[in-house]
Structure formats: structure tokens, C-alpha cells
Structure 1
Amino acid sequence: MSKEITDKIYTAFDEMSQRSTRPRRLIAERLIQLANSGHDFTTDDLWQELRSLDPKIGRATVFRSIEKLVDKGLLDRIEFADGTHHYRVCGGTHHHHLTCTQCHRVVEVDLCLPTEQLNAIGNQTHFKIEGHSLSLFGRCETCRS
């Protein structure tokens, strides 16, 4: 993952609070590791991991931090067909995800609806579309064999 993503994560944490606390540093460092590995995570799994490093880290601190990073566009919330979700540091470029309904493998997809189609939907429904999310589900090659 690029130095740019690392800088954006640290900057986002600086903007969230004037204080650089140990919990915030631990969260930022772990997210950078996850970004470098390309792995997705649940907030609960992240909290449990961080508790092994700092037993006093609050669940609410972790959950609030993750939601703020999603709001800033630094984390993507990945929805699965079964209603669960994970998070992933993706890098901020517009894309969508394809998820396996069996093993929960996640693949980034550089595919989008054409602007004309989004405009037509907006005109038909009398909405001004401000953004969109496309969720694709299926079974990966490994799970099909």
C-alpha cells in the first residue's frame, strides 16, 4: 500500500482528535498493516486483536474510529449476501466489490454504471443522485469446484 494511504490514515486520526493517544496510534498502525496485506476485517475482530496489545482499549473507540474513516472514504464497508459486512482499506479510488457467498472472498472490481444510466435513474425517480454503491455476489472458482 502506498505511503499516501499511510499518510491519509494518520492525517484522519489527527483531524479526529487533538490528542495522539495510544489507542488511536494502535488502531492506525493496525489499519496500515491491514492495508499493506490487503485483508478485510470486522470491527469486532479488530477490537479483539487490539485488546491483546492494550487490554484497556475501548470497543466504542475502535468502532467510532472505523466509522469516521468510512465517512472520510479511507475504509470501504463490504456487504456480504448474508447481511454481514467487513471493512477494507482500499485506497480511495472509486470501485466496487464482488464477494463470494460461500467463503467471503473479496475481489475489487473496476466496473461502474455509466453516468447516462445513473442520470436516467435520477430523472425517472426525480432524485438527484449523489453517490452509489454496487454489491455483486457469487461463488468464486475455488468454492465452485
Structure 2
Amino acid sequence: MSEGIADKIYAAFNELSQRNTRPRQLIAEHLIKLALAGSDFTTDDLWQTLRQEDPRIGRATVFRSVEKLVDVGLLNRIEFADGSHHYRVCGGSHHHHHLTCSQCHRVVEVDLCLSPEQIATISNQTDFAIEGHTLTFFGRCKECQLN
């Protein structure tokens, strides 16, 4: 899996005319680790972690790289009920959505979606040509329900 994600990340940087610089290599390496662990992150946490390896890495470089990887579908931006968000390496895998805990910010991938008929109904009712969608469920995970 890590080779596939690395290839996709490097290909995305190349596609976006991004040179394969040391900072981008560090970003890719760390994103691979996060993908293997199934972990999500904030851009600020990613930047702080990368600064431990390279104190000169720019905050703007990390933030721009993350946004570009979101734009090409390698990272998902996950919204929380409180308005904050994290990112997760989903790598353009199958279409899915997320369930987020409103208390501890745990993220779970959900393989359920609106049916094509439901999307068509929304499109017809609103007179929109729907090009895509995201769906995030909010709630409290089992551990947070007990606390």
C-alpha cells in the first residue's frame, strides 16, 4: 500500500508542476506513515511534526501541498460538528463518507451513500447539475458515550 500511495503523491506533485524537493519528500513520507496507520491530521500538526525533521520547512509549503492533494483527491478533508477539520489519506480509494465523533474527533470511514435515484431527485428538485458530493455524519463514538 505505501508504494501505491507514494507513487500517487509523487505523481500528483509532478502533475501539479511541483518539483520533488526535500520538503515534498518529507511530506510524502509522513503522509505514507499516516495512511498506513489510518490516522487523520491537521495541517498545523503535520507542519509541527515535519519541523522536527527539517526546521526550515515552510508552513505555507505544507499547507499548499495539503490543499493540492485534496484537490486531486488523494486527501479527504473531514469536517467536524464544531466547525474544525482534519485531513485523511484516502488515496482516491473507493467512494465513501465519514462518521466523526463530536467529542473525541475519532473518524470512521462509512461505505454507505445516497442512491443514484436520491441524487437525481435532489438534482431535479433544485435544478442543479450535481457534479459530486460529500456526506459527513456526526455523533459520539462508543467510548465517548460511556464518558
TM-score normalised by the chain length of structure 1: 0.95
Partner amino acid, structure 2, of 1:142 = E
CA deviations 1:68-123 (Å, max 9, x no partner) are 00000000000000000000001312100000111111000000000111111111
Where does residue 111 of structure 1 map in the other structure?
112
Q: How does 1:39-78 map to 2 (within 5 A)?
A: 39-78=39-78
Structure 2 gaps, min length 5: none
Deviation at 1:14, TM superposition (A): 2.3
RMSD: 1.1
CA contact (8 A) 1:70 1:77 kept: yes
Hey, what's the Cα distance between the residues in 2 that align with 1:5 and 1:49?
A: 20
Could you tell me whether the CA contact under 8 Å between 1:13 and 1:28 is conserved in 2?
A: no
Query: How many Å apart are 1:4 and its aligned residue?
Result: 2.0
- How high is the sequence identity, in percent, across the aligned residues? 74
Give the conservation status (yes or no) of the 8 Å contact 2:13–2:19. no
Aligned CA distance change for structure 1 residues 18 and 73 (closer, same or farther; 3 Å): closer
The 1:18/1:132 distance shift into structure 2, 3 A limit, reads closer
Give the gaps of 5 or more residues in structure 1. Answer: none
2:99 alignment partner, SS class:
strand
Count of aligned positions: 145
Moved over 4 A (4+): none
- CA drift of 1:13 comes to 1.9
Paired residue for 1:96?
A: 97
Q: State whether structure 2 residue 125 is matched by structure 1 residue 130.
A: no
1:29 matched to 2:20: no
